[in-house]
Amino acid sequence: MLVDGQPVLSCITLAHRATGREVTTIEGLREHPMVDAFVRADAVQCGFCTPGQIVSAVALVETIPHPSTEEIRHRMAGNLCRCGTYPKIEQAILAVVASTETPGNAGAGARVVGSTETRKSAGAGSAGAGARVVGSTETRRSAGAGSAGAGAG
């Protein structure tokens, strides 16, 4: 998931760390051109790593609009793919980058997110009081102190 546009590990990020920050999950990126590029490049294979790869790739092109192959490899190194689709992942990212160079195209640099809602909760383990959750399919827990919530990204 992205917190204020930066990729973070959702499995170890405590919910209270998202208080007052924008949280974007893979669901919030469903209309982003990166998703289509991954499908067209056949960079999805088994699909296990795909959400993390796409979220990281979106963060990459928003930070570095025209990354080199080496920059892509460096920035994506933390995402492991058991199927070995790394060349196709690079191809998908480069396709999105190339589409931003086309005149008249909105491109990947534009932040496209799904439905946005602000959740406010007094619960200690809630999704983060005042955090802006973008496209999350989180499972709410009533009293999970410090829990990030299952499916949060």
Tens of pLDDT, residue by residue, the chain (153 residues): 999 999 999 999 999 999 999 999 999 999 999 999 999 999 998 999 999 999 999 999 999 999 999 999 999 998 999 999 999 999 999 999 999 875 544 444 334 344 333 333 333 333 444 445 555 444 333 333 343 433 444
Extract the runs of DSSP E, i.e. beta strands, from 54-119.
116-118
Closest CA to 140 of 129, 130, 126, 128: 126
pLDDT at 146: 40
Is the pTM above the cut of 0.85? no
Q: Which class would CATH give 32-100?
A: mainly alpha
Closest CA to 23 of 152, 110, 112, 150: 152
Tokens of 2: 């992205």
pLDDT at 59: 97
CATH 1.10.150.120 domain range(s) in the chain: 32-100
Tokens of 140: 């709410």
